Structure 1
Amino acid sequence: MLNKKKLSQQADSSALNVLYFISPKKVKELLQEPTEPADNDSLDESRNKHTVLGISGERLTKRMRKELFGAMLKQEAGWFDRPENQSGHLANRLATEVPCLRKVSGERGGVIVEGLVLVIVSLILAFYFSWQLALVNLAFIPPLALAGALQAQDMVSSVGANAVAGSEIVQESVSAHRTLASLAVQSHFYSAFQEKFLGARRSVMVLTFGAQGLGRAVSFLPSLNDAVNGAKKIFDTLDRQSRLPTDEGEEPSAAVRGEVEFRNVHFRYPTRPGVKVLKGFDHTVKSKTNTAFVGQSGCGKTTCLQLIQRLYDPDDHGQQSGIFLDGLNLRQLKPSWIRRQIAIVSQEPNLFDMSIQDNIGYGALDRETTIEEIIEVARAANIHDFIQSLPEGYDTQIGFRGSELSGGQKQRIAIARALLRKPAILLLDEATSALDMESERVVQAALDKAMAVGERTSLLVAHRLTTVENCDQIVVLQNGRKVESGSPDALMRAKGAYFALHNADEAVKK
């Protein structure tokens, strides 16, 4: 059996003897001697080195993940609209590209440095023993390095594009970024959200030994390439300043009345600069009234609701144009403050993998809420009886994006969450359009309670015109402009654009 201790001592006598023993007979004698207990000092030293380097690499990964996730949550809605910033790509950036940095830091970084130092020392010794032969052997190093670089380039091109995966918390946060922005809870998810022969022969042996070091270093070229590419994307995100910082702007001290005025509003989405969605849209929504936006798909209805939340800013056409809340231009107000005054119920509500109580409670994280308040809004949303019928009641876990609930149940929980905010403005974006008739009836009853006259300003977008018949005012949009507005009865009598939409809706039902 191999005597490890004596071999180690022989190797320690000269770096050359690691790969080349002067006397083969000596090697045979060493191999035939009985084994002695191994010296643990070198093992301890190696273990400590790998432990320290490994910990440093893990800490770097953890810190970069936290900072990158925080930077993502600070970006404006338009940034998420870009193809390269879709939820799968961002989850991949966190899950696979951040660890790429660890490949050239920590333990692996130590191996790279060790290999490069070994190459340099080996070259010095080789030139000392025989500089002529050292030059000959040196000629083989560039092809070796080139081969490693080509291998790295090939690996990046063939593997990098397919590494798309993500964790549940990132998928939820990124895919529901508008919900997080509307609820102003990015900070909570960030926290949650927060793991080588005498003479010529010796020269040949030294270079061989050195080539091993170079080989070890070159073998990390794919990792280095991965790290460089990953770091570029990561630091691009970290260095990017949001075009709509959520904490810049004024915070009015006066109570919000809820009057919303659109003045000559023009808008195009950042990812579609050639398509004008709103073209000089004008309308005033009076305080504590219910107003519906109707029209064909793509006319700008949902865009109006997004602009009210200041997820985007309209095109700049001067201080007297834009969207005004109680007479104040939204451009001068802090986005996070604006969103605290607003609650939204969308067509597909974004619920989180937590209990029903926690999902409703996310509507008012800026203050302490009690279970009594949550039950009260659940009753108003017609969901309390269903929750009580569950074995765990309000502590029931609803799964990823509410997968354990039906569409109508998810919608009513979203309504309860919105009511818990006690908003001055309630936005309803096609809240019943994805439901069956029975679920629509129950949800619509909950919405009617939520839009009780005199409590708050409500703006809703709807395709099914039966859901807007009780509104105070209806605004008909066409190609980004208002073509008519008024009460439902007045618009029916006028037999204009709304009348045509109503008849088309009735024809579809038949």
Structure 2
Amino acid sequence: MAVTVLIQLAYPKALSYFIDNINVRKDMAWFSSLALTMLAVLALQAVAATARYYIFESTGYMIVTRIRRQLYAALIEQPIRFYDKHHVGELNNRLTADVEILHDTLTMGMAVSLRCLCVFIGGVVMLLTISPVLSLMLVIFLPATLFIGKMTGKVYRKRASLMQDGQAECGKVAQEHFSNIRLVHAFSQQRTARARYAGATEHALSLSVSSSALFALFRGGSSFLVYLALLGTLWFGARLIGQGQMTVGDLTAFILYASMVTEAAGAIGEFWNAWMRTIGATEWIFKVINTERAQEAPAGEAGLQGRLAFEDVAFAYPERPDAPALNKIDFSIAAGDTIALVGASGAGKSTIASLILGFYRPDSGRILFDGVDAAAMPLAAIRSKLAIVEQEPSLFSGSIFENIAFAVAEREVTLDEVKAAAALAYAHDFISAFPDGYDTVVGERGAQLSGGQKQRIAIARALLRDPRILILDEATSALDSASELQVQRALDTLMQGRTTIIIAHRFSTIVKADRILVLEQGRLAQHGTHAQLVAQQEGLYFHLMRHQLARAAAPAAA
């Protein structure tokens, strides 16, 4: 940059020397030597400009990549309540579009502004050297340009933040409809999807257009001031030549230097506006990156035996603080026991599972693992002994091997370990039947697999984790009878010797539990064995189960 700026500043002086001596030196050797010198200088400038461009561009990519990694790392470490507030589409947009804005500013924008700053300082020095009197013409222009840039920059910063919020909303709408594309087509809601996205983009467009109008006014005003200053310089310079106080070469050089200085001042103002836009657009990014998060201790060996207890636990979701999800829940589970959580939708069953997994902390009361308060234990150590099998298993779009091996984060998992877990989950046979075996790609959320196959892969993943406490969240409720039978065999293997919490509505699943906890609106309404609860015909459990009990009794009566 220093080389290119010095050569740029030398041009007008060289041109001035050439103009003033063109009629004095008529020797062609002089012209030839001057031409060769200029050619060498131009070659040097080309090499320096190439190096400058490459270094700034590559450095900019490195910075942006590092920021993107830092943002991703910060997002992945955010607690679950953060994702309750922010949509996945919004976060994806922040991670891509918002970070990309930094690139242009940090590469060519920064490079041009630094070069212009050097040109500006060097040009002012050269102007004062040629004619201090004529330099007074620029005294009014330069502060005016910089002041306009500063004032518009403040507005840009606010507008840019709103623009990025608008773009994030567009990403959110698109993500929602892409994620549920089968539902969109099934209900013929393409027009509604287009209308929602059009509404989101219209808002973002109006913000962008208004910002463009402001930027256009700044460019127009700066351009007018530039030409006004040059016109004044020509007029005053012509008078100085007429008075013999300046040569034609000096005036030419002065005009060129003045053009450099004015253009540099305008570019600095534009960069300031761009920098303000970038700051406004990326405030959210750095706010997330700089958010202090509790440092998790390494998992280590928790040594949990599987005893679990809730002591007067109360909890409300952060987004609904006035609607308690659990109210004074109190129960204990012995190591190796199986309990079933029963209740209507919204009774608090999944909330208990979320608290056990550490997604949230109780508002009051305690959760004890082997008699130790969970708040006093490293969360990673607790989770290393937990596993969950969900109603709709969460699978990644990679291979079957990767999805099962996902159970273990502390080390590399071998294929033999994955096969052993799959065999216990009764999944090895159907996996081996695929042409690519364990390398079969399952598609987004396991779209290439049946419901029963996905469940058995999830069970194999849980088996590989070898947990002490197992959570089954409606693990068979969405399956047909044949698939349920296969999955239930795998679940029976998985549950052996482990503390198991079953969230279920099906009678066939519930009766296998050692004890049943009946929840109603966040409270523990009943607890006991199936036989004990059925005997209480006025109780909630009998009310919830009576239709299933009647169906189960019908074959026996026949």
Q: TM-score, normalised on structure 1?
A: 0.78
**Structure 1 position 271, deviation (Å):** 2.7
Residues 1:93 and 2:94 are matched in the alignment: yes
Task: Indicate conservation of the 8 Å contact 2:160/2:278, yes or no.
Answer: no
Aligned residue in 2 for 1:499: 542
Gaps (5+ residues) in structure 2? 1-5, 24-30, 177-229, 238-250
Aligned to 1:82: 85
Shift of 1:67: 2.2
Residue in 2 that maps onto 1:105: 106
Q: In structure 1, what residue type is equivalent to 2:139?
A: L
1:278 aligns with 2:326: yes
2:390 aligns with 346
Residue 134 of structure 1 and its aligned partner are, at CA, apart by 2.2
Give the Cα separation in 1 of the matches to 2:158 and 2:269: 13
2:61 and 2:103 in contact (8 A); partners too: yes
What amino acid maps onto 1:326 in structure 2? D
Please give the alpha-carbon distance, in whole angstroms, between the structure 1 residues aligned to 2:450 and 2:13: 71
Residue 394 (structure 2) pairs with residue 358 (structure 1):
no
Superimposed CA distance per residue, residues 225-247 of structure 1 (whole angstroms, 9 cap, x where no aligned partner):
3431344323322222335x431
Cα distance 1:116–1:156, how it changes in 2: closer, same or farther (>3 A)?
Answer: farther
**Paired residue type of 1:373:** E
* Percent of matched pairs sharing the same residue: 31
Q: Report the equivalent of 2:452.
A: 408
Task: Give the aligned residue type for 2:351.
Answer: T
Which among 407, 410, 425 is matched to residue 469 of structure 2? Answer: 425
CA distance in 2: counterparts of 1:497 and 1:10, whole angstroms:
87
Change (3 A) 1:154 1:482: closer
Aligned-pair CA distance for 1:135: 3.4
Structure 1 position 474 matched with structure 2 position 478: no
- Counterpart AA for 2:428: H
SS in 1 for 2:324: coil
Counterpart amino acid of residue 238 in structure 1: I
- How far apart in 1 are the matches of 2:412 and 2:148? 67
Partner of 2:441: 397
Q: What is the DSSP-based 3-state SS (H/G/I as helix, E as strand, rest coil) of the residue aligned with 2:105?
A: coil
Alpha-carbon displacement from aligned partner over 1:341-370 (angstroms, at most 9, x marks no partner)? 111111222222322112111213435544
1:247 aligns with 2:297: yes
8 Å contact kept, 2:9–2:123: no
Task: Please point out which of 265, 268, 273 is paired with 2:316.
Answer: 268
Aligned counterpart, 2:264? 213
Change (3 A) 1:364 1:133: closer
Decide whether the 8 Å contact of 1:345 with 1:431 is kept in 2.
Answer: yes
Read off the aligned partner of 2:89 and give its amino acid letter: G
Paired letter, 1:409: Q
Q: CA deviation at 1:126?
A: 5.4
Determine if contact 1:423/1:456 at 8 Å carries over to the other structure: yes
Letter of the aligned partner of 1:247 in structure 2? A
Deviations 1:410-458 (A, max 9, x none): 2211111001111111111122334445433432332233223xx1111
Whole-Å separation in 2 of the counterparts to 1:17 and 1:314: 78
> 1:448-463 maps to which residues of 2 (within 5 A)?
448-452=492-496, 455-463=497-505
Distance 1:113 1:13, change over 3 A: closer
Inter-partner Cα distance in structure 2 for 1:210 and 1:163: 39
Aligned equivalent of 2:183: none
Q: Structure 1 residue aligned with 2:338, among 284, 290, 294?
A: 290
Alignment of 1:224-235 (within 5 A): 224-235=275-286
The 1:290/1:139 distance shift into structure 2, 3 A limit, reads closer
Deviation at 1:125, TM superposition (A): 5.3
TM-score of the superposition, structure 2-length normalised? 0.72
Q: CA offset at residue 206 of structure 1?
A: 4.3
Secondary structure, counterpart of 1:351 in structure 2 = coil
SS at match of 2:519: strand
Q: 1:435 and 1:216, CA in 2 relative to 1: closer, same or farther beyond 3 A?
A: farther
Q: Give the letter aligned to residue 523 of structure 2.
A: R
Seen in structure 2, the aligned counterparts of structure 1 residues 152 and 322 have a Cα distance that, compared at 3 Å, is closer
Task: Evaluate the alpha carbon distance shift between residue 54 and residue 436 of structure 1 in structure 2; reply closer, same or farther with a 3 A threshold.
Answer: same
Distance 1:103 1:95 in 2: 14
Q: Which amino acid aligns with 1:200?
A: F
Equivalences for residues 16-35 of structure 1 within 5 A: none
Q: Which has the larger radius of gyration?
A: 2
Equivalent-residue separation in structure 2 for 1:383 and 1:97 (angstroms)? 43
Q: Displacement of 1:485 after TM fit?
A: 0.8
Computed over aligned residues only, the root mean square deviation of the Cα atoms, in angstroms, reads 3.7
Instruction: Give the distance between the partners of 1:284 and 1:382, measured in 2 at CA.
Output: 32
Aligned to 1:200: 236
* Structure 2 Cα separation of the partners of residues 87 and 125 of structure 1: 56
Residue 306 of structure 1: which of 337, 341, 354 is its match? 354
Cα shift at 1:385: 1.7
User: What SS does the aligned partner of 1:98 have?
Assistant: helix
Shift in CA distance, 123/505, structure 1 to aligned 2, threshold 3 Å: farther
- For the residue of structure 2 that corresponds to 1:130, the secondary structure is helix
Q: 1:129 to 1:437 in 2, by over 3 A?
A: farther
More moved, 8-17 vs 415-424: 8-17
Size of the aligned set, in residue pairs, is 456
Q: In the alignment, residue 210 of structure 1 is paired with which amino acid?
A: V
Pair 412,430 (structure 1): closer, same or farther in 2 beyond 3 Å: same
